[in-house]
Amino acid sequence: MITKNMEKALNGQINKEFYSAYLYLAMSAYCNKNAMPGCEHWFRTQHDEEVIHMTKMFDYLMQHGGEVHLLQIDEPPVDFGSILQAFEASLEHEQFITKSINELLDVAVAEKDHATQVFLQWFITEQVEEEANVKEIVDRLKLVGDNGAALMMIDDKLSLRAAATVAADEG
SS3 content of the chain, % helix, strand, coil (to 5): 75, 0, 25
Question: What is the nearest approach in angstroms of ligand OFO to the Cβ of residue 28?
Answer: 14
Task: Report how many residues bind ligand OFO under the rule CB under 6 A.
Answer: 7
Q: In the complex with ligand OFO, which residue's Cβ is closer, 21 or 151?
A: 21
Binding-site member from 97, 107, 137, 158 for ligand OFO (CB under 6 A): 97
Kindly state whether residue 130 participates in binding ligand OFO, applying the rule CB under 6 A.
Answer: yes
Q: Answer whether 134's CB lies under 8 Å from 87's CB.
A: yes
Kindly state whether residue 53 participates in binding ligand OFO, applying the rule CB under 6 A.
Answer: yes
Q: Answer whether 57's CB lies under 8 Å from 13's CB.
A: yes
Handedness of CA 138, 140, 142, 146 (dihedral sign): negative
Q: Which residues bind ligand OFO (CB under 6 A)?
A: 17, 20, 50, 53, 94, 97, 130
